[in-house]
Structure 1
Amino acid sequence: MEGLLIHALLRELQKELPALFLGPAFPDEATLALLLKGRSGRIFNLVLRYRPPSPSLVLEEGRLEGEPKTPFQRLLQARLKGPLLAAEQLKLDRVVFLRFGGEKGFVDTPPSTLVFEATGRNANLLLLDEGGTILGVDRPVGREVNRYRELRPGLPYTPPPPYEKLDPRTLREEDLRVLLGKPLKEIVRQVDGVGLELMRELARRAGLTPETPLDEAGLQAVHRALKALVEDPSLRTELSEELRRKWAEEEKEALRKPLLEALEREKRTLLARLSDYQKALERLEEAEELRAKADLLLARLKAVPRGAERAVLEGFQGERVEIPLDPALSPQENAKKLYERARRLEEQAERALELIPKTEERIRALEEEMERIRQADLEELLRLSQRPKGEKDLRLGLRYTSPSGFTVLVGRNAKENDLLTRTAHSEDLWFHAQGVPGSHVILRCEGKNPPLEDLLFAARLAAYHSKARGERQVPVDYTRKKHVWRPRKAAPGQVLYTGAKTLFVEGTLPEGEGGA
């Protein structure tokens, strides 16, 4: 959720403040609904969905229900009391402070502040006391994950790192001149509260494309559109047919360019290797000459003076042959050295003969792939662009087939665990042995509901490929891949997850199975 969208929502909410807080509801373990009665008499919910990677803040009518499902939610139910006095945003960042007044009673509840960090993968919800000390946090963050700040109960709250960007609410047209000559999409780096979604909306309103280099007229159009976006950041502007075509072509070109550049780099590397292999073949004649000189040295040992830097000998055909020598070596040792050089050149030529056709075939395959990318449509380019960098072979991990025919993938190390999980379909099932180091296991079902025998099959693989291997009762958690995320700055393979169920299985490999 982007900063200007939060700003617009808080602007609407602030019209109703101070608001009477009628109580919380917890529809699920990552959602808090605050039932409020505004000063206009309107009753509505302020709904905070705080689970990464897609947190949101919305105003909804009606009543939501749900009891606390986590210890943190039980803390919120106990400590959030009194009217909602203020709703503030840190600059136009995705951080919101909701200040509650507390209430008097048999046991007084002091004022508190709810902090909602709607920051994508690092989204979080925290409860602070009057002094800014953390009372509770949905996802504690230790120093091993974030060296800039820790988020744990008992510590003072530290907001995300400060930054300097232009404030769209007050900026002048001349402030945007830093973007002159740059593509419109660079506005995300320069203007606060604008992310990729709002950047695209801004481009639509300005009649431009994200890749359009901005001239003076473009800056004026962007400034006008930006002011309108501050007042109404809703995403609803339609594209003209011409602009739609331009957008599509630019998007394809932006996706196509890095793919072609990567293949071109690989092609240049292969062409350089091919050139080296050709030179190795050409030096085969040199190897024959070296071997002939070595033969001549051994045949004319008496004619070779010790300590000489060269020898001039009569060849086998009566010709005059000059042979450079190492004066520190005997004639026999010089001959041996020539034989070794000849042997290395022959081995290089032999290897070149083997590698040249393979390299030429790889170059042809690269050229075909490049041509396919040049002709690819947007959907195909998006699919190709989602491959992790450096991944050339998509056959990651050990592969198994479940009883019903689903593919099951098992990571063999931290990097492979990371790649398997990142590249899995959002509706695939992800398995991991509970509480112990082990492999990430992906059951490729893409939203289907596999039978229990397939779930048990994948769970046993997760148990077997973990520190719990061999145990009789291993708890294995599983959930949809979309509920699994890697925290910011966490090491490859380290993830958090939610919505999991648990199976208890033996830590042994299913019978008759071997990874491929």
Structure 2
Amino acid sequence: MDTLQLAAAAQCLDHQLARQVIQGISDAPGGLYLHTAKAHIALIVQRAPLGLWWDTAFQKSGALTTWSSPLHQRFSGFRIQRIRVPWADRIVRMDCSRVHISKRVDQISLIAECFGGRGNIALLDETQHIRWAWRWDRLDGKAAPRFLPGIVYAPPEGSLPFTQPSPNTAAWLRRVAPRYRPQSGADQEAMREAWSRRLEPCAPWWRHAVDTDHPVVYPLPLPDQGPMREISAQEALRFVPPAILPQPSAQERILARQRERLQQRIRKMRQDMARWEDPEVYRTQAFALFALPDAIPSTLHISAPDHTSATGATLTIPVTPGTSLHRQAQGYMRQAQRSQRARREIVLRLQEAEQLLQQLTAVTEDGSIGSATGSPTPADSTLVKASKKGTPDDTGFHHQVIGGFTLLWGKNAKENDHLTFRAAKPWDLWFHIQDLGGSHVVLRRENRQTVVPEAVMAAAARIALQQSQSRAVSGEVDWTEIRHVHRKPGGGPGQVIYRHFQSIRVRRND
């Protein structure tokens, strides 16, 4: 509703509900309901449809125990004295009073600013001080606070009294929503005159496009809206609750979160791929430096012929002053090896993440997420299982399935720490090379009573040997349950101490 619609609705409801006793207040989507013996009024301030409405189909339910309870307690028993729009803005004011047995009269007022996202509801005492508000302002807010406990209510800056005559038609048209304003000056003046002649409180309204889902309903005929038919004010003010969109099930939320995590991981891996330069670039620079006499450079760049180029191009190579060229060439070769390993590893992980993302997207688009009660279908149970509360997400680690058991291991200290102390369960088995650095290997178990075959244990120990600093053909691997592994006091990520362990000797794969 714009200001004119709100003013017309207030005039009609004021006429219909004068001296009616408020029997209660309850919640409404984006506002509240006021209940009298004669009607149920919906006052909506923060979401469509904004405004003042008459709900003929309302069915009052249980006890009022939500945010509107303070208003319910304070307003019960008060009589409506007046409903009006006092300013040329979308602000409704409802004045109420109550007479005590001692003849003392209590007066309170309800202010509703129907501004959508900035909308608010406030309770004023007889001195116009704010005693309750739906949303209190903060003192450190950007705008000047208007809703603080105990301050005198003031309308937004620039709001003029509704009954004050407008100096011209353009000023009066500010009360009309832009989509309803006529284009021609003659139609604008006619609309203003029609409002001045509208004296009956519940005068008929006008409706256009009866068969559409969102018809135009206005207290005046709109020249630019085409043919409009006359309807009663009660029909125009009938409240139509907004459609309630179905809430996603638990499995849909789980899949959405997992899909978002995968998308973030894919973006990060692509950024990492962009940071790692092509290994051939480093090798070319290294070969060019090796071809030069071994000298100590004194500049930050050096020019060298590119022997891999058929045209004999010249390379400009960044160097470190004070370090020999051949030593820096060796550094470029090592950088080429690191870049090659990193790019190969990122490509593999990127392929795995993209495949899983395609599976999640296919499950979501096919609608096979499960019923409204949240039961997953067999097609997506394996995807949802990895993201349920209490079940870790294993997609970030290297993994292998042997004999029906899942083996996980990390590639660096941070992955090891995350795997052992965040992803693993207390009853999972933990493997690590004895007395040397290496990857933490975790063998998943359903529970503490799950028996693991010796072949699977040997395979897990062999992975721990292969993913370690040991270069021996065979080695000792310690294993224990995760609950016996603890972070080393003062140590870095991945450094642990463990107890109640056993050892197994294995050989590398041929």
Give TM-score scaled by structure 2 length: 0.40
